[in-house]
Amino acid sequence: CRKREYIGKSRSYKFYQSGELIKHREDDREYMGRTLYLGSLKSDVYFCIYEKDYEQYVKLGTPLEEADIINRFEIRLRNERAYYAVRDLLTYYDAEQTAFSIINQYVRFVDEEPDKRKNDWKLNDRWAWFIGDNRQSLKLTTKPEPYTLDRTLRWVQRQVAPTLKMLKKIDKGNGTDYMET
């Protein structure tokens, strides 16, 4: 991500060493695992990739070389996005297809090609191996609701009204007239 080789629906990512998340540091830094979050943790879709072997070492004392699972890639969905993922699972009964179709829709790792636009960069070979051949993309949304007066009024109530209320308080407290102009 730091080398700009991550392309996703969200540009947001966070990277942690294991001690940063649990508010303590292991003395032996070689045994600190890493966690990468792709997407905003507040969004309805984001991904968590972490070194499971390090987690098992810290929690259970399992030696790194004996860990069954080295890395874990989690898809974290909420609300409508979770609904459409479950619907796909119940339609096709193929967890691998559903999982990789979601990943393929939202995440790509590429190799930098300075003479090309980022969207035209070649897919990273290791990522291509992970994601597999001929994967489909699974959109986890529906068509947006058409604009109606009711929808607009709900938007004003949720988004605009709190801002107007705050501006009125600022005007009253500061003797300004932002609301008049």
Domain span holding position 174: 145-181
Q: What is the pLDDT of residues 129-181, one digit of tens each?
A: 888 877 777 776 666 667 788 878 887 888 888 888 888 888 888 888 877 76
Q: Does 119 lie in the same domain as 68?
A: yes
Q: Does 153 lie in the same domain as 125?
A: no
Asked whether residue 46 is domain-assigned, the answer is yes
Q: Does 78 lie in the same domain as 18?
A: yes
Q: Does 68 lie in the same domain as 20?
A: yes
Q: What is the pLDDT of residues 65-78, one digit of tens each?
A: 777 777 888 999 99
What rounded mean pLDDT belongs to the chain? 80
Q: Does 79 lie in the same domain as 107?
A: yes
Asked whether residue 140 is domain-assigned, the answer is no
Q: What is the pLDDT of residues 43-62, one digit of tens each?
A: 999 999 887 777 777 677 77
Res 20 pLDDT > 60: no
Task: Provide the sign of the torsion angle of the four alpha carbons 57, 59, 60, 61, taken in this order.
Answer: positive
What is residue 24's predicted lDDT score, i.e. its pLDDT?
46
Asked whether residue 137 is domain-assigned, the answer is no
Distances (CA, A) of 177 to 31, 161, 163, 173, 181: 59, 17, 15, 11, 7
Q: Does 152 lie in the same domain as 82?
A: no
